[in-house]
Amino acid sequence: MVEVLLLIGFVVAAFVGYNIGGATTGPAFGPAVGAKVISKAGAAALMSIFFFIGAGTLGQRVVTTLGEDLITGADVFTLETSIIVLFFIGGALFVGNYAGVPASTSMTAVGAIAGLGLATGTLNRAVMGEIAIWWLVAPIIGFWVSGVVGRYFYPAIDRWVAIESTDGALFEIDRSGVVPKPVAGPNTTRRELFGGVVVIAIGCLMAFSSGTSNIANAIAPLVALDGVEMTPMILLGSAAVAVGAFTIARRTLDTLGNDITELPLTAAIVVAVVSSGIVISLSAVGIPASFVIIATMSIVGLGGGRATRTVTVKQGIRGEKEPNVSVGALKADEMPAIGEGDPADIPSAADLFNPGTSARVVLMQNVVPILSTVGALGTFWVLFSFVW
């Protein structure tokens, strides 16, 4: 019977890992995919590699922390409770992935574990409170910083970076040699290549960060049990994440790369720098960062900031300033020259920023962790009150 339950636990842990791959690949590589720097398959491959590296290194510490610090009772994690916790984590994440909205795996996992802790009276409220405060503050910081950049600094950054997407692929695979290798596309400029490498590198860094924190969400409840080794579970969890990255993550890549806001290469770099900077800062002080929420809100903030950007127009040989005109977030290469073109041809805010999709993303990213928390709390309360 124990062996059957343990096998079920492995399957449920793999299901959680599968959904982690679906939920975290979009925030890490959505900007790069949206800017057509990398394909979805390439993003999935890099996600799989760097997630495993993060999980196999710093991720081991997070697995230990999540299994010990958040819950004070040493005997709370049993094989049965671990399976139930993983079931609610995986089920809630699947709801978000099915809707094409990447939910926070950290919030979802901690919510399910917190439900167990509340039902048994073993939740470390001080640790939970500190984590929750940063989960509220960090996305606001990401939204605000990206919004300010989009509204006031984006044109200057765009001119400084001076990257324009050319026709054709940024990278191609050269199969002329014994070992295939990536090479620059036929129309790729040096500056475009540099920008593409930067945004891909930042995506890899975010994938690494995801591995350090999110592997615990899939395997910590089982590793806390006697007789379950960490290394095989990291291999199992990372393999499941890779499957999710190559399959269900395509929906979240579309949502974060295309549906919320159009992302030229410069915008992709801004989003990646802001979100990864916040995630690394929180990780440095030991806070399990919800990088899915931070990255998503950074994309929303940048799109909203660009959509409300104010442009000062100078006309006439004497350089008189016309009143400020608000135009929709406008890519430099889409704006007509001053004094030329029809104002009706200027892209509107709705063209570059989709409030409906943004509202759906924010709503689902709050609903998914609530599902795992409330579901686990109700289930464990019933079990511990009337069954066990």
What are 3-54's pLDDT values in tens digits?
888 899 999 999 989 988 987 888 788 767 876 778 888 899 999 999 999 9
Same domain, 132 and 276: yes
Cα-to-chain-centroid distance, residue 340:
41
Confidence of residue 386 (pLDDT cuts 50, 70, 90): confident
Q: Give the list of residues 6+ apart from residue 318 with CB closer than 8 angstroms, or none.
A: none
**CA dist., res. 237 & res. 245, Å (int):** 12
Q: Which of 118-122, 210-214, 221-225, 360-364 is modeled with the greatest confidence?
A: 118-122
Same domain, 211 and 323: no
Rg (CA), the chain: 23
> Could you give the number of structural domains in the chain?
2
What are 318-364's pLDDT values in tens digits?
444 444 433 333 333 444 333 333 444 444 444 445 566 667 666 77
H/E stretch holding 320 reads strand 320-321
Same domain, 303 and 321: no
Same domain, 62 and 199: yes
Same domain, 349 and 381: no
Stretch among 110-114, 199-203, 232-236, 317-321 having the lowest mean pLDDT: 317-321
Same domain, 231 and 375: yes
Predicted local confidence at residue 24, as pLDDT: 83
Same domain, 254 and 376: yes
Confidence of residue 162 (pLDDT cuts 50, 70, 90): low
Predicted local confidence at residue 362, as pLDDT: 67
Predicted local confidence at residue 361, as pLDDT: 66
Residue 245 above 90 pLDDT?
Answer: yes
H/E stretch holding 325 reads strand 325-326
Predicted local confidence at residue 242, as pLDDT: 96
Q: What pairing do the DSSP bridges indicate for beta strands 171-174 and 181-184? A: antiparallel
Among 48, 35, 52, which residue's Cα sits nearest to residue 170? Answer: 35
Predicted local confidence at residue 225, as pLDDT: 84
Same domain, 74 and 203: yes
Predicted local confidence at residue 132, as pLDDT: 86
Stretch among 1-5, 89-93, 279-283 having the lowest mean pLDDT: 279-283
Q: Which domain holds residue 201?
A: 2-307+354-387
Q: Are 347 and 82 in contact (CB under 8 A)?
A: no
Residue 108 above 90 pLDDT?
Answer: no
Q: Are 134 and 287 in contact (CB under 8 A)?
A: yes
Same domain, 283 and 346: no
- Percent pLDDT > 90 in the chain is 18
**CA dist., res. 115 & res. 37, Å (int):** 41
3-state secondary structure of 268: helix
DSSP per-residue letters across 137-179: HHHHHHHHHHHHIIIIIHHHHHHHH---PPSS-SEEEE-SSSS
Average pLDDT of the chain to the nearest whole number: 77
Predicted local confidence at residue 303, as pLDDT: 82
Same domain, 114 and 185: yes
pTM for the full predicted model: 0.72
Q: Are 96 and 254 in contact (CB under 8 A)?
A: no
Which residues make beta-bridge pairs with 172? 183
Residues 285-310: what's their mean pLDDT?
77
Stretch among 51-55, 172-176, 256-260, 356-360 having the lowest mean pLDDT: 256-260
Same domain, 89 and 177: yes
Using the CB atoms, write b or e for 325-362: b if 16+ within 10 Å: eebbbbbeeeeeeeeeeeeeebbebeebbbeebbebbb
Place of tokens 């999110």: 214
Same domain, 227 and 282: yes
Residue 372 above 80 pLDDT?
Answer: yes
Residues 373-378: what's their mean pLDDT?
91
Return the amino acid letter for 370.
I
Higher pLDDT, 173 or 33: 33
CA distances from 187 to 190, 197, 253 (A): 10, 16, 25
